Structure 1
Amino acid sequence: MSRPLRVIFAGTPDFAAESLSALLASRHDVIAVYTQPDRPAGRGRKLTPSPVKALAMTHGLPVLQPETLKAPEVQAELAALEADIMVVVAYGLILPRAVLDTPRLGCLNVHASLLPRWRGAAPIQRAIEAGDSESGVTIMQMDEGLDTGDMLLVKRTPITETTTGGELHDTLASLGGKALIEALEALSGEGLATAPQPAEGITYAAKLSKAEAELDFRRPAGELAARVRAFNPWPVAWCPMGEDRLRLLMARATLPAPHDLPARPGTLLAPEADALRIACGEAGDQVLAVTRAQLPGGKAMEVRELLKARSDRFTPGFRLGHNDEEAPA
């Protein structure tokens, strides 16, 4: 068997911690962990270590948290580690050419999409929002571009009509850890063939924002249902409900019922046993069926239970959202 690799790991959020956990359970040697500096979090805005740092500390690993990798002294410190390879997973810092070239086998990235589709910051949520039928992870040899390096390994997983952003995140985090170890085993032995990314099919996954979570019921119901699932658990789709906000956590698109009268977008229709039904589309000719929601000050609940507890808040004919002229773009 080939010798274990000396690995520098660079990552920050929970998604990256899953890959670090897989690496720690493997035969390879994690010699240092790079992660973002501690950030304020919670109501008290207390400085909080990243999930990757927390995991590294429980294993007694050296943790480095530079603000940038461009400083010569930081690059010299990294080079002194004499790593075989650097693994980067949702790290959050740009790796300059000097860093990319330092490890003997270069730098690998675990990216949560089927490249070249969904390069960028939010590939998991954008895949669901766009209605993709599958997602996956790509193990990529890093270069100086934004997720443009050659591909070493690809693993796929389906996206169903009920897959949420949180569920796909967890699936891909686990899949990414397994794919990473498979790639490292190959690289430590006979090697792994690389393939350039196709020139066609490139899309970019823009960073999520709270502003885009407000739903515009003039849009098609299928588009809104996908956005509801993509934005669960963050930033969470919502709509105005009078002076309050209704948070929408699970939804599907359905056809209007024969008894439905024409209604303006955002109008509550007669509910089903397990769903709020909201008129959508420019003419209100499509229906969004919301099956999980949350009222202000309340818990997230299945709509079946929400209707039992607060049916007074969901009178058919009541209109959710803004007036048409105030609706979000």
Structure 2
Amino acid sequence: MRIVMMGTGPFAVPTFQALIESDHDVVCLFTQPVRTVHRRKSSVPTPMRDVATAHGLPIYDPESINTDESRVLLQQLQPELLVVCDYGQILSRETLATSKFGGINLHGSILPKYRGAAPVNWAILSGDQETGITVIHMTPKLDGGPCLKIVRTPIGPTETAVDLEPRLAQLGVAAVVESIELLLTHDPETLVGEPQDPALVSKAPRLKKSDADINWSDPAELIYNKFRAYQPWPGCYTHWVREGKPPMRLLLSKVSLVREPAAAEFPPGTICVAEGDQLSFAAEGGQIVVEMIQPAGKKPMAVAEFVRGNHPSPGDRLMSEGDLPQSS
């Protein structure tokens, strides 16, 4: 089959590589334009650009895939199928129509759960014990097409988004290949795939920088799930309120969870252990045990180094940015 690949992020790389090495004819890559980072053009190509370049494939990066100009280009390429994964743009009905079989999309959740830009993060954030990938036959509605293939996998109790996403990307490879075969062999007079149940739809919107600010009124389990879900970005941070000094912003680089409440004298949002190489924060129903920490303006450090250099004490308060006292 003559395929145009559309993808930008690392989640799409294993599928792209597998299709190039298959019997299918992958003719080019459509990807997002290189964006300006910190007032300068990033000199680091995306992983998808690396793969395309290594195999001598043309790369196209229109600001919008749905313009007349983009559709004319697609028509000239004469694709039989658009394979979309981690692309960053929604294809219109007219754009999908430039291909004989339309498009398929590899999505990082068990649809219709977690439609949107951050399905891996939201599965962990929600405390799910299982997730997976879905290949859909695309429609203009975001992640709304019929399901061609679903593969399920458990989520480990300490697994972060950094751990889970590459596992799901690998699971998607065979699923995409099988979905292409399904399209090639199905009876065109019948519908292909299983329609999604609209009653089961949930959303997975893009994460925001402000999500990283820990709310100490949240249960300990949720705070830990946020830490797991927000790796590598936006991370999780809090502010340590120090007597006679300005609050110190602390990025939690590595933590674990103890599902046992701290002693009664340590309410949620206080330091309950600070000695040697041990540092724990009290939360509702448990404790957040810090293993690596990064004070503002410093590099990540081991807890022993932080405790030795900064002298936190049990009972010290931790606050979110919005709760900090205003300086006069």
- Return the alpha-carbon distance in structure 2 between the equivalents of residues 232 and 123 of structure 1: 13
Residue equivalent to 1:73: 69
Alpha-carbon deviation of 1:325? 4.5
Q: TM-score, normalised by structure 1?
A: 0.87
1:93 to 1:254, Cα distance in 2 relative to 1, 3 A? same
Larger mean CA deviation between 129-138 and 97-106 belongs to: 97-106
1:232 to 1:246, Cα distance in 2 relative to 1, 3 A? same
Q: What residue identity is the alignment partner of 2:250?
A: L
1:25 to 1:122, Cα distance in 2 relative to 1, 3 A? same
Instruction: Determine helix, strand or coil for the equivalent of 1:119.
Output: coil
- Return the alpha-carbon distance in structure 2 between the equivalents of residues 324 and 279 of structure 1: 19
Q: TM-score, normalised by structure 2?
A: 0.87
- Return the alpha-carbon distance in structure 2 between the equivalents of residues 324 and 206 of structure 1: 22
Instruction: Determine helix, strand or coil for the equivalent of 1:75.
Output: helix
The gaps in structure 2 that reach 5 residues or longer are 242-246
Q: What residue identity is the alignment partner of 2:307?
A: R
- Return the alpha-carbon distance in structure 1 between the equivalents of residues 265 and 119 of structure 2: 37
Q: What residue identity is the alignment partner of 2:317?
A: R
Alpha-carbon deviation of 1:166? 0.7
Instruction: Determine helix, strand or coil for the equivalent of 2:72.
Output: helix
* 1:175-233 C-alpha deviation (Å, 9 max, x unpaired): 12232122223333457951001222211011101111110112111110100110111
1:246 to 1:323, Cα distance in 2 relative to 1, 3 A? closer
Alpha-carbon deviation of 1:103? 1.2
- Return the alpha-carbon distance in structure 1 between the equivalents of residues 19 and 38 of structure 2: 29
1:30 to 1:272, Cα distance in 2 relative to 1, 3 A? farther
Alpha-carbon deviation of 1:323? 8.6
1:323 to 1:231, Cα distance in 2 relative to 1, 3 A? closer
Aligned Cα root-mean-square deviation (Å) = 2.5
1:60 to 1:139, Cα distance in 2 relative to 1, 3 A? same
Q: What residue identity is the alignment partner of 2:249?
A: R
- Identity in percent: 35
Alpha-carbon deviation of 1:278? 1.2
- Return the alpha-carbon distance in structure 1 between the equivalents of residues 322 and 75 of structure 2: 58
- Return the alpha-carbon distance in structure 2 between the equivalents of residues 324 and 53 of structure 1: 40
The gaps in structure 1 that reach 5 residues or longer are none
Residue equivalent to 1:235: 234
- Return the alpha-carbon distance in structure 1 between the equivalents of residues 11 and 248 of structure 2: 33
Alpha-carbon deviation of 1:152? 0.1
Q: What residue identity is the alignment partner of 1:263?
A: F
Instruction: Determine helix, strand or coil for the equivalent of 1:149.
Output: coil
Residue equivalent to 1:25: 21
Paired residues in the alignment total 315
Larger mean CA deviation between 290-299 and 180-189 belongs to: 290-299
Q: What residue identity is the alignment partner of 1:204?
A: K
1:245 corresponds to 2:256: no
1:85 corresponds to 2:87: no
- 2:117·2:205 contact (CA, 8 Å) conserved in 1? yes
- Return the alpha-carbon distance in structure 1 between the equivalents of residues 137 and 162 of structure 2: 27
Residue equivalent to 1:321: 319
Alpha-carbon deviation of 1:39? 1.4
1:183 corresponds to 2:169: no
Instruction: Determine helix, strand or coil for the equivalent of 2:134.
Output: strand
* 1:64-94 C-alpha deviation (Å, 9 max, x unpaired): 1111123223212101212111101121122
- Return the alpha-carbon distance in structure 2 between the equivalents of residues 319 and 186 of structure 1: 58
Q: What residue identity is the alignment partner of 1:137?
A: I
Alpha-carbon deviation of 1:54? 2.3
Residue equivalent to 1:306: 303
1:62 corresponds to 2:58: yes
1:308 to 1:49, Cα distance in 2 relative to 1, 3 A? closer
Larger mean CA deviation between 229-238 and 177-186 belongs to: 177-186
Residue pairs, 1:103-182, within 5 angstroms = 103-182=99-178
- Return the alpha-carbon distance in structure 2 between the equivalents of residues 170 and 129 of structure 1: 17
* 1:256-311 C-alpha deviation (Å, 9 max, x unpaired): 25xx2322322111259875321223xxx64223334333455445xxx4225634
1:173 to 1:77, Cα distance in 2 relative to 1, 3 A? same
- 1:39·1:49 contact (CA, 8 Å) conserved in 2? no
Q: What residue identity is the alignment partner of 1:307?
A: A
Residue equivalent to 1:279: 282
